[in-house]
Chains A and B, each alone.
Chain A
Amino acid sequence: QQNVQQSPESLIVPEGARTSLNCTFSDSASQYFWWYRQHSGKAPKALMSIFSNGEKEEGRFTIHLNKASLHFSLHIRDSQPSDSALYLCAVNPNYKPTFGKGTSLVVHP
């Protein structure tokens, strides 16, 4: 069974900071990697995904994937108060998307 771990559990940063969230997985056959964002009281919503080793940038958000290290990360540049949310990483083994426990991010003005 896939084991997905996220760190840190929670993070408080000032507005404008660069924020880094981490995710490790156990199944080296995993092919697809996602970050979801969940604002308080709302449904999770897909933020970004990556399918091959390397880096992918979309606006202020960047994903890094290193399959050999079983690790991927999300970096947020110029963090905004609206980025305050629970961030969930997800990995797919065998058609069963598995999520980490999440990182709670608070960006204070």
Chain B
Amino acid sequence: EAAVTQSPRSKVAVTGGKVTLSCHQTNNHDYMYWYRQDTGHGLRLIHYSYVADSTEKGDIPDGYKASRPSQENFSLILELASLSQTAVYFCASSDGWGTSAETLYFGSGTRLTVL
């Protein structure tokens, strides 16, 4: 089974501080995604990437940056954390979407609380 590892598992941050969430996959997948999950909102796409050194905006990118330094690693950066960014964040990888129609494999999630 595909392996996606997120760190940290949980984090408490202060408003205005910088937060970096990390994701590592060992599946040799090209596509990686960051989603946030809030009660009543399902999963919403923040950023995604289909190749190293390139990232794309998802549906809710405001307030977030992403970095894909290698095929295996994908980070989500909150430069100025805000209360509204309190959520559970999931990273996922896939071998491709659309024409490849591959499954998304999710990490265990990072629970972020901004105070």
Contacts and interface: CB of A to CB of B under 8 A. Distances in A.
A94 B57 CA distance: 13
Contact of A46 (B33, B40, B98, B103): B103
A53 to B, nearest CB: 15
A44 B88 CA distance: 12
Contacts of A94: 98
B59 interface: yes
A44 B101 contact: no
Interface residues of B, number: 24
Given A88-B42, A96-B58, A44 B98 contact: no
Q: Is the interface of A mostly helix, strand, loop or mixed?
A: loop
Interface residues of A, number: 25
A72 to B, nearest CB: 14
A32 B100 CA distance: 10
A98 interface: yes
Q: Find the residue from A31, A43, A46, A94 having the highest chain B CB count within 10 A.
A: A43
